[in-house]
Amino acid sequence: MQPTLGIDLGTTNCAVARAEEEAGVEVLGIPQLVNPGEVRAEPLFPSSLYLPGPSEFAPGALALPWDENPPYLTGELAKKRGAENPSRLVHSAKSWLAVAGDMPHVTAVEATRAYLAHLRAATPNFDAHNVLITVPASFDAAARDLTLQAAQQAGYPTPVLLEEPQAAFYAWLERHPDWRERIHPGALILVVDIGGGTTDFTLIRVTDQSGDLTLERIAVGEHILLGGDNMDLALARAVEAEMPKLDAAQLHALWQRCRVAKEKLLAPGSTQAEEPVTILGRGTGLIGGTLKGVLRRSTLEQVLLDGFLPSAEATDVPARPRRAALQEVGLPYASDPAITRHLAAFLRGQQPTHVLFNGGVLNAPLVRERLLSVLNSWLPAPVEVLSGEDLMHAVARGAAYYGLARQGRGLRIRGGVPRTYYLGIESAMPAVPGFPPPMKALTVVPFGLEEGSAVALPKYEFSLRTGEPAEFRFFSSTTRKDDQPGDLLDPIPPGVEELAPMEVTLSGAPARVSLEAQVTETGMLEIYCVATSGERWKLEFNLRS
């Protein structure tokens, strides 16, 4: 059995954990530059990339054990230097992956590749491990593909993607071998994951099947670009109100400083009433070339509680204000910053019995307590909090544990597909005026197939049309639960409904192909058309849409 690595590719920080059957799960330190000329292993790797200016660092000051002259800085020193010179800082790249956007000088894929390449080089015997990389549960197919593209460019041969909320729950299971005594049949577990750039919700149901407790993920929330970054910017705007007018670069610097100040004020046990924030000024009239402000605890609590965690009713939905017809090209940020209203819309009257918190934002007792208060106001009985996990490393730990579970050495959360899926096959028939060639339906995904499973299809041969637009037609059924992969339905019977077709233009010459299929951990049906020459064409279909 291969050991596994779980990589939490976070918006703000990355983490790595390793799992072996006998040794269990451990968080790995990540060697990185913490100061010029100083490399140290740290438990977190900031998702920051800094582009050094000419002669900004002495020769050799940025050398790493595996690279004497890296083209840019990543990690802790990049975060530090970027706070001082934000115009050269790249951060929140994972959010940009969600829209395949470019960032100044460095694309989102390139920044992500840089982080993953550093983690690969910093991890001993990396290639001897199965590697799992976590992504938001709500990432779309394009964002998942870009994540895999960045990983492959970084030298990851066959990484597996896993949803972050599931990984967080796997970490709780790994830490609590007695979980069957803590949660019982009928329990509905809400996972709330608020990170630097996104908010994710997931529901997991506990069921009894022939005397065995099983876990089934039953719902995943929409992609909500709302998290710690939004909070930090809101705090910067509040502090800015008491300072001279700032330009865009100064506001960006204040944004970064307020993040640090927020973390200090929200740290467990902190009693500070305020935290100073200082940024570089412009012009010659400023004493010492700096501008000074202060983030007060009262301001922090007002912004977070009133702006991001307001009281809400169970029937509330996110506000959708009128928007301008023309907007800058950028990220599709949530128009309503109220996380509590997004949560109400996700639950839609469902009543969780347990809640598991994850993500750096939820390290703050203030945030957890307000969310609990609002959530419990909707329920007939208070939820039980599943606690005892390190929120900063839970996703990496859970991903590493899941890597063992995939090899049969751990519990897996069921995510069986709720339908049988079919691919349309056009019959080879003589043309008849007014009658299109009849369709057959080839079973490609059986009802209840576990996500993360490959589908064995018989080696039928089909003719693949290339070089011109062509439709791939998909069908599904909720009633035909016994059809098996490779079953060919001719004619297509009642109870099999056609879904939206996919029109594509495939490159290359027409070919005879066989089919291969798998359902990924993130709910994508991947179908490969494989020619006898070895050429492959890939199609993706979202089974959760």
Distance of alpha carbon 492 from alpha carbon 471, whole angstroms: 18
Judge whether residue 506 has pLDDT over 60.
Answer: yes
Judge whether residue 250 has pLDDT over 90.
Answer: no
Average the pLDDT over 244-269 and give the result: 87
pLDDT of residue 322: 67
Q: Do 215 and 159 share a structural domain?
A: no
What are all long-range contacts of 522-525, with beta carbons under 8 Å and residues at least 24 apart?
522/135, 522/137, 522/139, 522/144, 522/161, 522/162, 522/163, 522/451, 523/220, 523/415, 523/451, 524/141, 524/144, 525/421, 525/444, 525/445
Of the CA atoms within 13 Å of residue 93, those in its CB half-sphere come to 30
Judge whether residue 234 has pLDDT over 70.
Answer: yes
* Domain contains 394: no
- Give the residue among 129, 143, 150, 218 at the shortest CA–CA distance from 415: 218
Q: Which residue has the tokens 């438990």?
A: 43
In sequence order, which residues have a C-beta less than 8 Å from that of residue 59 and are 6 or more positions away?
none
Judge whether residue 100 has pLDDT over 50.
Answer: no
Least reliable range by pLDDT among 133-142, 204-213, 281-290: 281-290
Residue 501: band (very low, low, confident or very high) from pLDDT cuts 50, 70, 90: confident
pLDDT of residue 282: 66
Helices (H) and strands (E) in the chain, counts: 12, 30
pLDDT of residue 502: 87
Average the pLDDT over 468-496 and give the result: 89
Judge whether residue 283 has pLDDT over 70.
Answer: no
In sequence order, which residues have a C-beta less than 8 Å from that of residue 64 and are 6 or more positions away?
31, 32, 33, 39, 70, 121
Q: Do 337 and 196 share a structural domain?
A: yes
pLDDT of residue 421: 92
Judge whether residue 279 has pLDDT over 50.
Answer: yes
Question: Phi and psi for 278 in degrees, rounded to 5?
Answer: -130, 135
Q: Which residue has the higher pLDDT, 192 or 289?
A: 192
Judge whether residue 357 has pLDDT over 60.
Answer: yes
Distance of alpha carbon 38 from alpha carbon 29, whole angstroms: 15
- Give the residue among 47, 10, 5 at the shortest CA–CA distance from 28: 5
Residue 431: band (very low, low, confident or very high) from pLDDT cuts 50, 70, 90: low
Q: Which domain holds residue 133?
A: 4-164
Q: Which of 129, 164, 199 is the last residue of a domain?
A: 164
Least reliable range by pLDDT among 19-33, 64-78, 419-433: 419-433
Judge whether residue 285 has pLDDT over 50.
Answer: no
Kindly give the interhelix angle for 248-266 and 365-377, rounded to the nearest 10 degrees: 80
Percent of the chain with pLDDT over 90: 45
pLDDT of residue 102: 44
83: domain CATH number is 3.30.420.40
pLDDT of residue 330: 52
Beta bridge partners of 420: 477
> How many structural domains does the chain have?
3
Judge whether residue 537 has pLDDT over 70.
Answer: yes
Q: Do 529 and 429 share a structural domain?
A: yes
Q: Do 160 and 189 share a structural domain?
A: no
Judge whether residue 443 has pLDDT over 50.
Answer: yes
pLDDT of residue 386: 93
Distance of alpha carbon 2 from alpha carbon 407, whole angstroms: 9
pLDDT of residue 331: 59
| Structural contact between residues 399 and 8, judged by C-beta atoms closer than 8 angstroms | yes
pTM: 0.80
Q: Do 445 and 354 share a structural domain?
A: no
| Structural contact between residues 98 and 223, judged by C-beta atoms closer than 8 angstroms | yes
Q: Which residue has the higher pLDDT, 115 or 482?
A: 115
Q: Do 285 and 139 share a structural domain?
A: no
Residue 118: band (very low, low, confident or very high) from pLDDT cuts 50, 70, 90: very high
Q: Which of 64-68, 491-495, 496-500, 510-514 shows the highest mean pLDDT?
A: 64-68
Q: Which residue has the higher pLDDT, 521 or 16?
A: 16
Average the pLDDT over 483-498 and give the result: 90
In sequence order, which residues have a C-beta less than 8 Å from that of residue 87 and are 6 or more positions away?
249, 252
Least reliable range by pLDDT among 87-101, 163-177, 410-424, 443-457: 87-101
In sequence order, which residues have a C-beta less than 8 Å from that of residue 443 and are 6 or more positions away?
420, 421, 422, 483, 484, 485, 486, 487, 488, 489
Judge whether residue 142 has pLDDT over 80.
Answer: no
* Domain contains 278: yes
Rounded to a whole number of angstroms, the distance between the first and last alpha carbons of the chain is 35
Q: Which of 86-95, 104-113, 301-310, 432-441 shows the highest mean pLDDT?
A: 301-310
Q: Do 70 and 42 share a structural domain?
A: yes
Q: Do 242 and 154 share a structural domain?
A: no
The length of the chain in residues reads 545
Q: Do 203 and 157 share a structural domain?
A: no
pLDDT of residue 432: 63
* Domain contains 381: yes
Average the pLDDT over 377-382 and give the result: 96
Average the pLDDT over 164-184 and give the result: 90
* Domain contains 370: yes
Residue 34: band (very low, low, confident or very high) from pLDDT cuts 50, 70, 90: very high
Q: Do 85 and 37 share a structural domain?
A: yes
Of the CA atoms within 13 Å of residue 162, those in its CB half-sphere come to 32
Q: Mean pLDDT across the chain, nearest whole number?
A: 87
* Domain contains 336: yes
Residue 103: band (very low, low, confident or very high) from pLDDT cuts 50, 70, 90: very low
Q: Do 189 and 92 share a structural domain?
A: no
- What does the CA dihedral 30, 32, 38, 43 come to, rounded to 10 degrees? -40
Q: Do 373 and 225 share a structural domain?
A: yes
* Domain contains 226: yes
Residue 168: band (very low, low, confident or very high) from pLDDT cuts 50, 70, 90: very high
Judge whether residue 513 has pLDDT over 80.
Answer: yes
Cα separation values, 115 from 50, 72, 327, 393, Å = 12, 11, 31, 17
Percent of the chain with pLDDT over 70: 92
Least reliable range by pLDDT among 157-161, 210-214, 389-393, 425-429: 210-214
In sequence order, which residues have a C-beta less than 8 Å from that of residue 472 and are 6 or more positions away?
423, 424, 501, 502, 503, 504, 539
Average the pLDDT over 222-243 and give the result: 90
Average the pLDDT over 293-304 and give the result: 95
Least reliable range by pLDDT among 153-162, 327-336, 512-521: 327-336
* Domain contains 390: no
* Domain contains 133: yes
